[in-house]
Amino acid sequence: MTFNDIFKSSFLSSVTSVSVLDMAISLGLAFVLGLFIYLIYKKSYQGVMYSSSFGTTLVALTMITNLVILAITSNVILSLGMVGALSIVRFRTAIKEPLDIAFLFWAIAAGIVLAAGMIPLAIIGSGIIGGVILLFVNKKQHFTPYIVVLSCENSESEKGALDYLQSKVKRCVVKSKTATKGLNELNLEVRLEDENTDFINDLGDMPGINSAVLVSYSGE
């Protein structure tokens, strides 16, 4: 192989397999869709602490996926090597919110579809997905479950507290009970008749009740 043959290799000829205009349009649309996914995530987030870094990750993930698929579609041999390289990558970051998984797959799918040239599918599909997420996430529930934590001195005070609680709420279910010497602790799921929570004050004042705590329950 001579020095000139090196510059005539298929490697250099594959550089221009994707035009600069196609790359600019695809990456530009990936940025716009990634930004749209980020805004939907920010508006629909209902966790305890909002993470702006995860929202930025959604934008970057859309563009990175778009870049990878553009490279794969331009060269079949490169696609096989890239699949092998990506298969050894392992991510250990824990996903705290189940809905975050949907946003990650949404960002990846948007990048793939855009790189495949299906621009209407990516735009219309992302609009529908964003509307569905906002519809169901922001939909108000007809009831709000609560957890009541009772600390009782004996069985008599426990029975009295349960009888009083069942008369004040729509539903009362014992979720767990811990019994130690001189102390019984109960966790109860309750559904309130209305937003009045004065019954917790009355429970705390009952004889034999050390403490009564009402906590909003989100299922986590």
pLDDT at 7 exceeding the cut of 50 = no
| Final residue belonging to a domain, choices 109, 137, 165 | 137
Domain of residue 38 covers 3-137
Do both 171 and 195 map to the same domain?
yes
Residue 11 is predicted with a pLDDT of 47
> What's the domain count of the chain?
2
> Residue 191: which H helix or E strand, with range?
strand 183-192
If asked whether residues 54 and 129 sit together in one domain, one would say yes
Q: Same domain, yes or no, for 155 and 210?
A: yes
Same domain, residue pair 117 and 93: yes
Q: What is the number of other CB atoms lying within 10 angstroms of the CB of residue 112?
A: 17
CA distance 220 to 205: 30
Q: How far apart are CA 121 and CA 129, in angstroms?
A: 12
Query: Could you tell me if 22 and 89 lie in one domain?
Result: yes
Q: Do 9 and 74 fall within a single domain?
A: yes
64, containing H or E segment: helix 52-74
CATH number where 204 lies: 3.30.70.1150
Question: What number of CA atoms fall less than 13 Å from residue 162's CA on the CB side?
Answer: 18
Mean pLDDT (whole number) for 199-220: 79
CA of residue 89 relative to chain centroid, distance = 22
Residues 152 and 140 sit within 8 Å (Cβ to Cβ)? no
Q: Do 86 and 180 belong to one domain?
A: no
Q: Same domain for 82 and 174? A: no
Of 84, 102, 137, the one marking the end of a domain is 137
Confidence class for position 6, pLDDT limits 50, 70, 90: very low
Residue 152 or residue 89, greater confidence: 152
CB 177 within 8 A of CB 186: yes
Shared domain for 41 and 100, answered yes or no, is yes
Distance CA 86, CA 105 (A): 16
On the CB side of 110, how many CA atoms lie within 13 Å of its CA?
A: 33
Average pLDDT, the chain: 79
- Whether residue 149 sits in one domain with residue 133: no
Contact indicator for 111, 66 with CB cutoff of 8 Å: yes
- One-letter amino acid identity for 64? I
52 & 78 share domain: yes
Task: Convert the pLDDT of each residue in 51-100 to its tens digit.
Answer: 778 888 899 999 988 888 887 776 665 666 666 556 655 666 667 777 88
> Which residue, 43, 83, 218, 55, is CA-closest to 146?
218
